[in-house]
Structure 1
């Protein structure tokens, strides 16, 4: 993709001179990563009332909850609650698209780390289940989001930020060992109450998350996303939260719009957007996700980056971006080469659409 350099330069140009949301003081890598995950959670709730898939997988993978519990929880969210009885028994592996449902278990196979029941994947917790407390916590969270987080609107942001912080912490164990996070120490000593979990929330992160939402609204970025979503009326979902491409590990942040054309948006709250190597990965990932949707289930016609600390949306029509990245090479040939590579890496055969 020889034209990547020129595309990356646009990010620097779009953010030049724009005020930045920063932490209140010196923070470590853990803080940056946690705020990024938590803000991604908040952005997803602006778009659709869907299960927090990585959170539920993480709780199963850590051994704090069973897979049956995770399916039951997923089936309680508005996107999944109308599923039939048989489908709700495996609700966590079903994802809505614009053309129906994507069944991860049947089409891609569920990773062994999240498919097994009963035993902690990391063997860190002497108490193998926290389902009763988690039931209470998730019931309260669903009710709070339903009341105070209307689609596409700023809500009770301080309370929402606290819940997103908790969700992000549980999401952490989907891909990481909980021993790295002090938060999970409470589970090694017993099963904490919901109130004890709330007291673990870091208030400096909450303040920062509220500021990021204020920047989203005040900068006009939320209005731009509404435009990309086709100006949905109040109360209607804007699109799809956490669209998945290939397996439960390969998801992105949000998809706004509908069957006639949607925008895939990668949300990032990093501070430095002029790192060319990092920016290349963002852009290539957007194109790769769009190409992986071989059945065109998500109808991706535009891709975008939302640079949360700047309040800047940078969007490209997918076809134009691919043409610019390839610098004159044949887009269809590049797409097929990419899918062939994915096939070899995964040992599967994707159905390439015409």
Structure 2
């Protein structure tokens, strides 16, 4: 769904490839620099394009706010450098060239098609993203690299047919159940060819990236995409909503101009959104939202320092 709002790199997928040692960091940065959001950066900036994220007000440099727990191992060494590189880069360069071309042709802004070609690529990028924060041995595609160098066709065909069919149905539901129309409304009905917002906005550190940020004339809407089947479990629902509020509170400089937050339930095709201020007042149940946010930020700062060894 991130391709609906912005032609940005699949950040976590590229991080995942580098983390497993299938590619080098320089390759990952070069690939990020080939996406429309980054390709106009100066050469020096494109050499570290994966760490630069566009915002409404300019660029966020993640290298300045990186989280030790994401980039580094416990001993401080780069996770990237723990694995021997293979000769996968040429094949993966070809694969990503094809991915960019396919999405440009079949999924322009706000026009995500419901067909199997897109679904296979979305599954593959999600699998690569999974390896960023999890054990790559759990991913079937990674086993293709253990004994041989797979081809682009083998990578493309790695998605199970049953999963591809399910993704196609989810994309169709986005169109038919009204979720896409509601997102377009929140974005202010942008004309074709204009980005709807920000894909994978980041709030302070790598671990706090979200799904999509839809831009509108009166501010933006932060949307978390959920594939949950059941939506009537109160404790889980509260976690979803509090997470959205917490992320918006982390934007202390109002970089993203968040005025609404929402949940998109992909299996139901339903988007539910709330004005941010009204939601904060409801969740703190009569307490002062300003004081609650201040207390939250103090706690977040303390936990972040403890995690990085500063506290």
TM-score, normalised to structure 1, is 0.82
Greater shift after overlay, 273-282 or 234-243?
A: 273-282
Gaps in structure 1 of 5+ consecutive residues? 1-42, 121-125, 349-354
**Residue of structure 2 aligned with 1:178, choices 136, 159, 167:** 136
* Correspondences of 1:322-341 after superposition (within 5 Å): 322-341=280-299
**Residue of structure 2 aligned with 1:193, choices 147, 151, 155:** 151
Residue 258 (structure 1) shift: 4.2
SS state of the match for residue 143, structure 2? helix
**Residue of structure 2 aligned with 1:88, choices 35, 46, 63:** 46
Aligned to 1:32: none
Check if 1:288 corresponds to 2:246: yes
SS state of the match for residue 101, structure 1? strand
**Contact kept in structure 1, 2:57 and 2:255, CA below 8 Å:** yes
State the distance in 2 between where 1:312 and 1:193 align.
38
Check if 1:215 corresponds to 2:173: yes
**Contact kept in structure 2, 1:259 and 1:299, CA below 8 Å:** no
Aligned to 2:66: 108
Check if 1:130 corresponds to 2:79: no
Residue 116 (structure 1) shift: 5.2
- With over 3 angstroms needed to count, the CA separation of the structure-2 counterparts of 1:108 and 1:295, relative to structure 1, is farther
- With over 3 angstroms needed to count, the CA separation of the structure-2 counterparts of 1:67 and 1:172, relative to structure 1, is same
TM-score, normalised to structure 2, is 0.93
SS state of the match for residue 240, structure 1? strand
SS state of the match for residue 19, structure 2? helix
**Contact kept in structure 2, 1:127 and 1:191, CA below 8 Å:** no
Aligned to 1:150: 108
State the distance in 2 between where 1:101 and 1:252 align.
17
Residue 182 (structure 1) shift: 2.8
Aligned to 1:312: 270
**Contact kept in structure 2, 1:63 and 1:129, CA below 8 Å:** no
**Contact kept in structure 2, 1:46 and 1:153, CA below 8 Å:** yes
State the distance in 2 between where 1:188 and 1:249 align.
29
State the distance in 1 between where 2:260 and 2:157 align.
41
Check if 1:205 corresponds to 2:169: no
Aligned to 2:207: 249
State the distance in 1 between where 2:115 and 2:194 align.
20
Number of aligned residue pairs: give it.
Answer: 301
Superposed CA offset, 1:249-306 (max 9, x none): 2110000014740000000111011122211111011001100011111110000000
Superposed CA offset, 1:122-181 (max 9, x none): xxxx76341111100000000000011011123263211010011111111001111122
State the distance in 1 between where 2:92 and 2:198 align.
25
Gaps in structure 2 of 5+ consecutive residues? 307-311
Aligned to 1:29: none
Check if 1:44 corresponds to 2:9: no
State the distance in 1 between where 2:141 and 2:236 align.
29
**Contact kept in structure 2, 1:127 and 1:190, CA below 8 Å:** no
State the distance in 1 between where 2:65 and 2:129 align.
24
State the distance in 1 between where 2:58 and 2:44 align.
16
SS state of the match for residue 316, structure 1? strand
